[in-house]
Amino acid sequence: MTAIDTKIKPRSARKNTRPVWDEEPSLLGKLVKALFLICYGAAIVLPIWAVVATSFASEQSLTAAGGNLLLIPTDVSLAAYQEIFDGGALTKSLILTIGLTVGGTALSMVLTIGAAYGLSRPGSLLHRPLLMLVLFTFLFAPGLYPSFLVVQKLGLFDNYLSIILPMALSAFNLIVLRSFFMNSVPTELLDAARMDGAGEFRTLFKIVLPMSKAILAVIALFYAVGYWNIYFSAVLYIPGLDTQPIQVVLQRMLMSTQGLPGAAANVSQYQSAAPDSALKMAVVVCTIIPIVIMYPFIQKHFTKAVITGAIKG
């Protein structure tokens, strides 16, 4: 958090003081600004807080509150979390989602690092045509049906690999990492390594990667968030499998609360002793937690990555 301050704000050097040339805003202006920020912040924080509070609620307190969500918990019950981690369908779904996230991120990083380094040397063999092949993906999208067809042709339909492989490479991340390699790793260092007889692989692993830890972590986290939030590819590619990613499970639970068709048949496997709302909110909390854990790190470094990517892309 502090790191982003120093990076983002030109005023950080002044440390909480208004520069002499800047006139003091009017009281009204200050009030309006404060009110705006407080309302905006509250609109984001309160629902999240209510979700967390409800996930710990017992049946009685929920009935007393008369609804699906409560702001002030009167007692704490862990029934919902016991339900999630008791080894049933929800546990399987969480384990699957963690597996997809870890496996997918690892594969994505291998692809991204390799291509980013391989394409970081203008003038190397085939450099320009290969780079064009990557950049073209920004301009055109192959379309939903052809992608679906290819997954079918490869025999990956109803196979968990169909979640990971089609989204394994983000051209955006590749370009961001490539421009980092090109601009932030000193060429002298690379030349020195080559003089000492280090091959490209050795240079990559011993010099370039250790210098790029922060940006690698940010890119990995972006990939991880992408895999963790997988919903549409699961709907599209693995509709027939029993164990679904956690977002799909959450969607089915949501549909059943709203009394909508389409989920009724599937949702019975998630019903439990814990209050319905509490269970659902506990699933929501489980999907939020990894993101909240990763968040401070993303926050610390990612703005820079976004901006370099946007400018150099």
Query: Could you say whether residue 158 binds other proteins (CB under 8 A)?
Result: no
Applying CB under 8 A, among 76, 102, 264, 307 the residue interacting with other proteins is 307
CB nearer to other proteins: pick between 74 and 124: 124
Task: Note whether 279 and 272 are within 8 A (CB).
Answer: yes
Query: Could you say whether residue 25 binds other proteins (CB under 8 A)?
Result: yes
Q: Which stretch binds other proteins (CB under 8 A): 75-83, 206-214, 225-233, 264-272?
A: 225-233
Q: Across the chain, which distance is largest between two alpha carbons, in Å? A: 75
Task: Note whether 86 and 144 are within 8 A (CB).
Answer: no
Distance CA 180, CA 211 (A): 10
> Left if phi > 0, otherwise alpha if psi is -120 to 50, otherwise beta: which for 139?
alpha
Q: Which stretch binds other proteins (CB under 8 A): 66-74, 77-85, 210-218, 267-275?
A: 66-74
Cβ neighbours of 278 (radius 10 Å) = 27
Query: Could you say whether residue 155 binds other proteins (CB under 8 A)?
Result: no
CB nearer to other proteins: pick between 87 and 279: 279
CB-neighbour burial class of residue 244 (10 A; exposed 0-12, middle 13-18, buried 19+): buried
CB of 210 vs other proteins, minimal distance in Å: 17
CB of 78 vs other proteins, minimal distance in Å: 20
Positive/negative CA dihedral, 63, 64, 66, 67: negative
Query: Could you say whether residue 31 binds other proteins (CB under 8 A)?
Result: no
Positive/negative CA dihedral, 66, 71, 73, 76: positive
CB of 123 vs other proteins, minimal distance in Å: 8
Residue type, 45: V
CB of 5 vs other proteins, minimal distance in Å: 5
Q: Residues near 214 by Cβ (< 8 Å), separated by ≥ 6?
A: 301
Identify residues 104-143 at the interface with other proteins (CB under 8 A): 110-115, 117-119, 121, 123-126, 128, 130, 133-135, 137-143
**x/- string (CB under 8 A) for other proteins, residues 229-258?**
x-xx--xx----------xx-xx--xx-xx
**x/- string (CB under 8 A) for other proteins, residues 190-219?**
---------xxx--x---------------
Helix, strand, or coil (residue 53): helix
Query: Could you say whether residue 35 binds other proteins (CB under 8 A)?
Result: no
| Residue from 134, 93, 100 nearest 114 by CA | 134
